[in-house]
Amino acid sequence: MHENDEKIIIIRRETGGSLELYLSDPLLTWVRRLEICVGLANVLSYIHYDEARAFSVIHRNIDSLNVLLNGDYEPKLCEFRLSVKINASQRHLSFDTEKVCNTPGYTDPIYLETKIVSHKSDMYSFGIVMFELLCGRKAVINDDEQNKYLAPVAITHYRKEKLHEIIDWDILKQMDPQSFDIFSKTAYDCLNDELSQRPTIDEIVPRLKKALELQLEHQKVIIMSKEFAHLKVPLEDILSATNNFAEENVIHTSEFEKRYGGQLVWSGELIEIRARRWLNKERDDEKEQQFWMEISLLSSLKHKNLVSLVGFCIENDENIIIIRREIKGSLCLYLSDPVLLTWVRRLEICVGIAHALSYIHYDKPRDFSVIHRCICSASVILNDDWEPKLSDFEFSMKIKAFQRHHSFHTNKLRYELGYGDPTYIETKRVNHKSDIYSFGIVLFELLCGMRSIREHPDNKYLATLAIFHYKKKILDEIIDPVLRKQMDPEALNVFAETAYECLNEDRSQRPNIDEIVTRLEIALKLQMERQNAGSAAFKSTCVESHVDKNTMSSLKDVSHFKLSFEDVESATNNFAAENIIEEFKLGIIYKGRLLQSEQFIDIIVKRFDTSCIKDENKKIWSGI
């Protein structure tokens, strides 16, 4: 329009807006990013040269702001005001410009220095856009002086083969390795200091198409893979197991999922299950990735201290993961109970979790490593024998084994409140030592008998509280007194020091998981030596030796009442003084709490003095 001294250009508005808005958005999947790059390469190929046209165009202003997306994420290149129109026959030449059109972060350094522009200047700018899409960040970040400009950061990391450190993990985990290699090499070549060494747009187009093709094949393999076919559980069976997702079967609810308990007949066996049902039925690429990540990991990771995958269901828009249910539930339910969760049991649980982490962090026969990212007491499930099982792998990162000492950039933070590694939260860079920090919090939860977050106005977080008291050598002030009485001093020292070192602000100074396993096993050994010494006198007396044959024969009818000494010891907190109700002629009566038939019951324990057993055994067994 050109009326009344008005100069107005009207273009069709694209509803998606500028590409710049989506760079850090995980909803812009790797496939979409590749498709956008292929679309941009095609349009650049068209403006640079089209046989039916007598002219060629140098755009001079390529950046992610000037790429618009329609409703289908198709890119549209805009802003041609600064473009240079030349004869088609001159398309391989360079042109001197009096005024440099500079878009900070995108403009070709050679053009800035010489004021000479060519199609290869567009290639440089396009390379920056490619790196933006690869890394999930803008070309310029003003509040990050150290990494303000993407170009030098990308070039340095590419040369050192450490690009993974600046690529958002939510994007990186989607990538086919070959697709990634082709794409990153192409983007890097576009930034070559030597103009003549930069590829032409017609070289770039087939490279990007190949990268897209490989990625689509990779996606297809994942989706269509028969690898998990044996794990499919019919929806009908899950409905039957959970009583049609009845509310009384719900064992946990969050914003995104519901977990149901139930019984499922599987491989001819009736098993207890926990069905995790995603609540959001809309297809979301990010949630889809999380769903398949958990299935992939649990199907390939086999360890006694990891939960066992039963199967999954994807019928009727349902996304459900079924794992074998451990009856006692989450560790977090027992933290404040020093009677049920004795110090010995706590040590055994810690050793079990440490073994699980050692296994997922690195196992020699495996070519991948796992960063869990959501270690907390709620993600540790206890079976009937108090053995821990690590669960909740939906946010885990599966990396190559040789990368296990590297850090990875994530735009979106994933951690449990009260357990998150402060370095990860501050830098958005995660590694195995982030898991170690979270595990350190769990260690302190078990040591102190309290949750990682408390309803306290001054000391809300256990991490701050534990670090302060450890440094001041006053940990006793925050350890449950009933627990403290059970502890061997040496075992406590080894355990507390290990937990404290896991929370070191300097990640490099935190112990690795194999060191932690060794230390915790030493703490458990020290505690058991004390425990065994303390109960040796009791255990050395064999009650049966004082019972005649007739009495023993009659006792076969009550054998199902027999309890293990360990259970009685646990129920009475190691026959603690505060559990004594009264003394009687033949011994001492204690109170306690015992887990029986999946319920906690209050009990009274008569502990007979060993010196009385021989003379009074008939009365004792008559009472039974």
Confidence of residue 291 (pLDDT cuts 50, 70, 90): confident
Beta bridge partners of 273: 262, 324
Summarize the confidence of residues 304-332 as an average pLDDT: 91
Dihedral sign for Cα 134, 136, 142, 143, please. Answer: negative
| Whole-angstrom distance, CA of residue 122 vs CA of residue 110 | 12
Residue partners of 178: CB distance under 8 A and separation at least 6:
211, 214
**Cα separation of 62 and 42, whole Å?**
14
Question: Residue 611 above 80 pLDDT?
Answer: no
Give, as one character, the DSSP assignment of residue 473: T
Rounded Cα–Cα distance for residues 370 and 394 (Å): 12
- The residue with tokens 């109970």 is 337
pLDDT-wise least confident of 71-75, 191-195, 291-295, 388-392? 291-295
Asked whether the CA dihedral 422, 425, 429, 431 is positive or negative, the reply is positive
The 8-class DSSP code of residue 325 comes to P
pLDDT in tens, 116-141: 999 999 999 999 999 999 999 899 98
* pLDDT computed for residue 425 by the predictor: 93
The rounded mean pLDDT for the chain is 87
Instruction: For residues 522 and 526, give the distance between their C-alpha atoms in angstroms, rounded to a whole number.
Output: 6
Domains of the chain: 17-224 (1.10.510.10), 229-324 (3.30.200.20), 330-532 (1.10.510.10), 543-623 (3.30.200)
- How is residue 461 annotated by DSSP? B
pLDDT at residue 270 is higher than 70: yes
| Cβ-contact 437, 444 below 8 angstroms | no
pLDDT surpassing 80 at residue 598:
no
pTM, 2 dp: 0.68
User: Where does the pLDDT of residue 284 fall: very low under 50, low under 70, confident under 90, or very high at 90 and above?
Assistant: low
**pLDDT at residue 263, rounded to an integer:** 92
